[in-house]
Structure 1
Amino acid sequence: MEGVTDVGLQARFLSIAAGWVTLVTTVMIAAPLALRDRLPDPIATHWGTSGAPDNSMPFIASLVFQVGLWALLAGGALVFALANTTLLRRKANRMGLGALLGGLGLFLLGLQVVTLKANLDASDWSQAAELGWDALLAVAGLVLGGWLGALVARPGPDDRPEPSAVPTRRIPLRPGQRAVWVSSVSSVALVALGGSLLAAGLGLAVLALIGGEGALWLPAVIMSLVGLLGATFSSVRVQITEEGVVLFFGPFRLPRRHIAIERVERAWTEERFPTGVGGWGVRGLPGAMTIMIRGGECLVLGYVSGGRLAVSIDDAEKGAALLNTLVDRASTGPSAR
């Protein structure tokens, strides 16, 4: 795979992706048609916060909408891959497209399964079953499909752009002199969004407890979890010492991640933006991950294993320079690799 041509790589990716798109499309059409005699027409297609159905669509219209949405999104991804052959030589790009197709496909199939199950054998769409915890099936499909899609798209070359041609900076340190670099960055928008969702989720949980509305627990849990994740990854603090790099997340500096100095080969800075890495928060997979809090200058760590980690952080150039100095010191010291 390392010596594959652009055309060969594109053909491999497109053949697997097209096969997946065809499979999902076939299942999305065949399953509702096979159960049509046991489904009301129109069928329930939307449920309120209470868990009861509150809107419907004609059977054929619902089927066309679901398949059309999948065809539009999946087709757009395939056209993008067809028009940008060289981008597929980047492992991160392939894995991103694979995760999109895999996650989106299983997510839509999960939604369809939940919808069909709720409508099955109902005399009228208004008599469809209430949604419960089984609605998490679609969320599980999104996560599982994204992971599997990225895994399938991973094999192949990885023509990553090299760091700037400017010599890697270092900060002179006297023998025995110790130095520490600390910087942090936060996003007001992510703090507000995460806090709002968390507050709304906790509010729904209180209403569920007081009013005994069991159907409120599902949106309460989902909103609370999403809000908690948003608040956690709304800020990051980076600390560089002789022991390595430590990343602290969120207002309470939890969770934390420690990267030993022996794992780092070099450090540099790059300009990265949410549109280029897939959005805000933790983007990518281990070995090609970006922690995007705000667009602009990022500290990039190059691992000895070949992977990379980028963190959007202030004063990144000075942090990279100190880390390179400490890496050199560790490699020539008594405990050199």
Structure 2
Amino acid sequence: MTDPYDSSPNGVRARLLVAIAAWTVLVAAVLVAVPLAFADRLPDPLATHWGSSEGPDGSMSPTAFMLLLIGMWAVVAGIGAVAAARGRHLARRVTRAWFCAGLAWAGGFMVTTQAVTIAANLDRGHWTRAQDVSWQVAVVLVAPIALGALGWLAGRPGPDVPAPSPETGRLIDLDPGRRPVWVSTTTARWAGWLALASLAAAVVVAGVALYGLFPGGWGAVLPLALAGVIGTVLSSVSVRVVPEALTVSVGPLRWPSRRVRLERVERAWAEERYPTQVGGWGLRGLPGRATIMIRGGECLVVRYVSGGELAITVDDAATGAALVNALVARRHSSAGR
């Protein structure tokens, strides 16, 4: 059994897994019980989308809508459970608090979305006569934030293991007669499959909507295509280090890219970071302290002279950091002569 008073990182992670399981079951139970409780008062299909004209412009069967929300919640909760089970970084209080806040927000968003949709369709007879949605949008936005705040507070108790101070690591001996170059590329299969599935779905939905078999389907084409583009961009990241600069490129076309001149760099090191630490996948953080996250694990972290940081998930980060540090040291040595 889990010791409720065990304050070690393993004890906190065990309790966190129990809390995630309880929260997952509770949200799933609500998502199933509410539509079943009002099944005899809901039209079939029911309105599930409202356009700019304020009236409903999309519908779905109650069962399909329920399964859609449950499926989305299962994916979110499953990712959260895996991250909690494998995440040593959850020993840090701030990471644990934001992790719990995100999971609480996601569950609240699913439940409030369902509640607003069912309330708008209740006793309406037909989905086209569903109630207009206006102020209810604020409920969908605000209520999950309030739950996220409670989740943040719930994640704070327990140990706060400080992050280890970064070590510069080894240096590379540079041959004055040669031009050193280091290149490393990392791919994320999940993003590639997401891009492929989203783009394929966009094409299928567009084709079905074109022949009038899926009224309102055009509204789903743009989000699916956008998800495909984002997945393509997040499918790979490449880092190139030369004596003048460090260049980071994303996507199979190596675009967009960012070039950081080494005169702006103080030092670099390799460090393990995970999506739950930085707020998810993609470009996370703020200008001056950003992370390009396409998979958890080894990252190349570059600290600017100004104090900001840029972290990139890339393979063989220790070698890249060693070359950056050697080039920075050589630049400083040349400047001091």
Q: Distance in 2 between matches of 1:328 and 1:44?
A: 71
**Per-residue deviation, 1:168:** 1.4
Deviation at 1:246, TM superposition (A): 2.0
Q: Deviations over 1:148-207 (max 9, x none)?
A: 869x88x9x99322235xx61122235686432211122344323321221211221233
Question: Are the counterparts in 1 of residues 93 and 161 from structure 2 also a CA contact under 8 Å?
Answer: yes
- Do 1:190 and 1:230's aligned partners in 2 also have CA atoms closer than 8 Å? yes
The CA deviation at 1:323 is 0.9
Match of 1:16 in 2: none
Q: CA deviation at 1:94?
A: 2.8
Aligned residue for 2:59? Answer: 52
Deviation at 1:122, TM superposition (A): 0.3
Q: Which residue of 1 aligns with 2:229?
A: 228
Instruction: Give the Cα separation in 1 of the matches to 2:243 and 2:234.
Output: 26
Where in structure 2 are the equivalents of 1:14-163 lying within 5 Å? Answer: 41-43=40-42, 51-55=58-62, 87=90, 89-117=92-120, 119-120=121-122, 122-123=124-125, 127-129=126-128, 141=141, 145=145, 159-163=162-166
- Residue-by-residue CA offset, 1:226-280 (whole Å, 9 max, x unaligned): 2221222111111123443222111122222334435533222245667x76998
Residue 141 of structure 1 and its aligned partner are, at CA, apart by 4.5
Q: Provide the rounded CA distance (Å) in 2 between the counterparts of 1:244 and 1:232.
A: 22
The one of 308, 312, 315 aligned to 2:314: 312
Alignment of 1:172-187 (within 5 A): 172-173=173-174, 178-187=179-188
Q: Work out whether residues 51 and 130 of structure 1, in 8 Å CA contact, stay in contact via their aligned partners in 2.
A: no
| Alpha-carbon distance in structure 1 between the residues aligned to 2:243 and 2:283 | 27
Structure 2 unaligned spans of 5+: 1-6, 13-22, 50-56
User: Given the superposition, is the C-alpha separation of residues 215 and 239 from structure 1 closer, same or farther in structure 2, using an over 3 Å criterion?
Assistant: same
Matching of residue 282 in structure 1 with residue 282 in structure 2 = yes
Q: Which secondary structure does the structure 1 equivalent of 2:95 belong to?
A: helix
**Alignment pair present for 1:238 and 2:239:** yes
What's 2:322 paired with? 321
2:241 and 2:320 in contact (8 A); partners too:
yes
Matched AA of 2:127: A
Q: Counterparts of 1:256 and 1:330 in 2: how far apart (Å)?
A: 24
Name the SS of the counterpart of 1:215 in structure 2. Answer: coil
Q: Which moves more between the two structures, 186-195 or 234-243?
A: 186-195
C-alpha distance in structure 2 between counterparts of 1:288 and 1:244, whole Å: 18
Aligned counterpart, 2:20? none
Q: Secondary structure at the match of 2:61?
A: strand
Aligned CA RMSD, in angstroms, stands at: 5.3
Inter-partner Cα distance in structure 2 for 1:185 and 1:334: 34
**1:172 to 1:211, Cα distance in 2 relative to 1, 3 A:** same
TM-score scaled by structure 1? 0.59
Number of residues paired by the alignment? 277
Q: Which residue of 2 aligns with 1:291?
A: 293
Contact 1:269-1:300 at 8 Å conserved across structures: yes
The one-letter code matched in structure 2 to 1:199 is: A
For structure 1, the 5+ residue unaligned runs are 1-5, 11-20
Q: Residue 42 of structure 2 aligns to which amino acid in structure 1?
A: I
How far, CA to CA, are the matches of 1:53 and 1:98 in structure 2? 30
CA contact (8 A) 1:282 1:290 kept: yes
Distance of aligned partners of 1:116 and 1:98 in 2 relative to their CA distance in 1, 3 Å threshold:
same
- Pick closer, same or farther for the CA change 1:284–1:292 going to 2, 3 Å: same
